[in-house]
Amino acid sequence: MPARDNRVLLDLNSEEFQNTFLALETAELKQVVATLNRLRSMDWNTVYTHSGFNWEAVTIFKAPNGSKAYSLRLSQKIRALAYRDGDFLRFMSLHPDHDSAYKR
């Protein structure tokens, strides 16, 4: 397990994220939960270089703290918008329609 001081901590408290997350079908929910568990076990360097997340900046959005927002793949079909805040990965929204993560 990565060193505690560089481990990814998850913040899933966004209302928009939770509304979509709690409405997922069982199979999709299981996939997203498995990916979130995988993220929790990683350090930040691993997240940035892991090819499975397709971590990419989304320039049309800004995070609430003014930093860049990023899109990352949580399942084959689902993407999330999130941003880094210290050791926290703070999720803003969840997008079962993969392409909607890139639209205003």
Q: Are strands 79-85 and 68-73 parallel, antiparallel or unpaired?
A: antiparallel
- What are the sequence ranges of the domains in the chain? 4-97
Specify the residue for token string 């090819």. 51
The predicted pLDDT at position 1 comes to: 46
Pinpoint the alpha helices (H) of 1-104.
Answer: 15-21, 26-40, 44-49
Domain 4-97 has CATH 3.40.50.720: no
Strand (E) or helix (H) holding 89: strand 88-95
pLDDT 10s digits, 6-49: 899 999 999 999 999 999 999 999 999 999 999 999 999 999 88
Residues 6+ apart with CB under 8 A from 80: 17, 71, 72, 74, 91, 92, 93, 94, 95, 101
